[in-house]
Amino acid sequence: MTESGNPVGTFTVDVTIADHFRPERTRTVREVMVDTGSDATWISAGILEELGIRRVKRDIIEYANGLQAIRTIGYAIVRVSNRETIDEVVFAEP
């Protein structure tokens, strides 16, 4: 546990994603893996496209094994329980 009492490592949560331009359009994604060492929110490209979330930039992402890839990123409202934020979301590809 960290000082704030949050678990360290990985765990799963249900996440609701919404387009920040049209917050009434939402999709709940069940059992999303949370890695406390990660700095990116990865959501299936199909889900983000279904919600109308725009691809706004490309960035180099480095995986835990050291490999790198260029991925597209957009902005979305991310809700977990009673908390929400606008976050960069990576369009996750198969």
CA distance 67 to 89: 19
Q: What is the pTM of this model?
A: 0.81
Instruction: Give the model's pLDDT for residue 8.
Output: 67
Give yes or no for a contact between 68 and 62, defined as CB atoms under 8 angstroms apart: yes
Q: pLDDT digit string (tens) for 20-71?
A: 999 999 999 998 887 777 778 899 999 999 999 999 999 998 887 899 999 9
CA distance 42 to 28: 14
